[in-house]
Amino acid sequence: MKIWKKLTIFLGAGAVSVPLAIMGLFIYATHDMCGNEVYSEVLSPNREHKVVMFQRDCGATTGFSTQISILDSGDELENESGNIYIIDGQPKEVSPNARWASNTELRIERSLNGSEYKAESSWGLDEIKVTYVAGSS
């Protein structure tokens, strides 16, 4: 009887641990499928910040997106989503013009029309104002 008890415990543990291990391996292998490709960078007039326009691609099951982040000038773009602006499409086709109006205001030359996934109006502790104006898109 002891051998059957040990065998049952062994098989039960295997039935639980093998699927958990496979699920963990899948999550580990796919957790960072996205990648960013910088399209353009523009420094603020005082050179303390920069606006980075980039393409984000998260694999075959999703399309490309154009994203914009404001960063401190010494920071590199991390493998994260944009912190200011996100729309569908590749930058060469849909990127708006982004320019600094001052050290504390970024102008994105594209009217908001509801197709944006993100369109923030400010950024950071320095409270950089982000405005969206009609212009070339």
Helical H segments across 70-126, by residue range? 91-94
Q: How confident is the model at residue 1 (pLDDT cuts 50, 70, 90)?
A: low
Tell me the two tokens of residue 4: 């059957």
Average pLDDT (1-25) is 67
What is Dmax (Cα atoms) for the chain? 82
Q: What's the pLDDT at 11? A: 72
Tell me the two tokens of residue 101: 């109006």
- Quote the domain boundaries for residue 100: 35-132
Question: Looking at the structure, do residues 57 and 116 belong to the same domain, yes or no?
Answer: yes
Q: Does pLDDT of 127 surpass 70?
A: yes
**Residue 85 within a domain:** yes
Give, for 8, the enclosing helix (H) or strand (E): helix 2-30
Question: Looking at the structure, do residues 80 and 27 belong to the same domain, yes or no?
Answer: no
pTM of the model: 0.73
Mean pLDDT value across the chain: 85
CB 94: neighbour CB atoms within 10 A? Answer: 15
- Number of domain units in the chain: 2
Q: Does pLDDT of 46 surpass 90?
A: yes
CB 8: neighbour CB atoms within 10 A? Answer: 10
Identity of residue 110: R
Tracing tokens 């639980």 back to the chain, one arrives at: 16
Q: How confident is the model at residue 33 (pLDDT cuts 50, 70, 90)?
A: confident
Question: Looking at the structure, do residues 56 and 114 belong to the same domain, yes or no?
Answer: yes
Question: Looking at the structure, do residues 42 and 73 belong to the same domain, yes or no?
Answer: yes
Question: Looking at the structure, do residues 47 and 107 belong to the same domain, yes or no?
Answer: yes
**Residue 137 within a domain:** no
Q: What's the pLDDT at 30? A: 47
The C-alpha atoms of residue 36 and residue 54 are separated, in whole angstroms, by 6
Q: How confident is the model at residue 10 (pLDDT cuts 50, 70, 90)?
A: confident
